[in-house]
Amino acid sequence: NAGVTQTPKFQVLKTGQSMTLQCAQDMNHNSMYWYRQDPGMGLRLIYYSASEGTTDKGEVPNGYNVSRLNKREFSLRLESAAPSQTSVYFCASSALSYEQYFGPGTRLTVT
């Protein structure tokens, strides 16, 4: 039981490049989330998927897209990376709307 896994762990992009962050959970949770963590700002919700087949915007969705591929997988795509997207990205999952279980994070630097 791996919980929530994320790939890659680290990534460096140049401005304008694209990439997809992958997330998978093996806890049979219905809901999945993408957050970014910036110093002094806590976690901010980018997108979430309440259940398979649905996605909704969170607090800071601009510049990102998501895909809920199936119940296990929820990916985050940056179409044209910007330096402002330098951050640590966390994926999480939960059963219904209770506590969330987080992956280890992806540290992204955009130069």
Could you list the residues that contact another protein (CB under 8 A)?
A: 4, 31, 33, 35, 40-45, 48, 50, 56, 58-59, 90, 92, 97-105
Residue closer to another protein, measured from CB, 15 or 109: 109
Whole-angstrom CA distances from 45 to 1, 2, 16, 17, 37 are 26, 23, 23, 22, 9
Residue closer to another protein, measured from CB, 14 or 62: 62
Residue closer to another protein, measured from CB, 44 or 72: 44
In the complex, the smallest distance separating the C-beta of residue 81 from another protein, rounded to whole angstroms, is 22
Residue closer to another protein, measured from CB, 82 or 95: 95
Asked whether 56 and 49 are in contact (CB, 8 A), the reply is yes
Asked whether 35 and 48 are in contact (CB, 8 A), the reply is no
In the complex, the smallest distance separating the C-beta of residue 22 from another protein, rounded to whole angstroms, is 15
In the complex, the smallest distance separating the C-beta of residue 84 from another protein, rounded to whole angstroms, is 19
CB-based contacts of 42: which residues, under 8 Å, 6+ apart?
Answer: none
In the complex, the smallest distance separating the C-beta of residue 5 from another protein, rounded to whole angstroms, is 10
Asked whether 64 and 81 are in contact (CB, 8 A), the reply is no
Instruction: Report the distance separating Cα 27 and Cα 19, nearest Å.
Output: 26
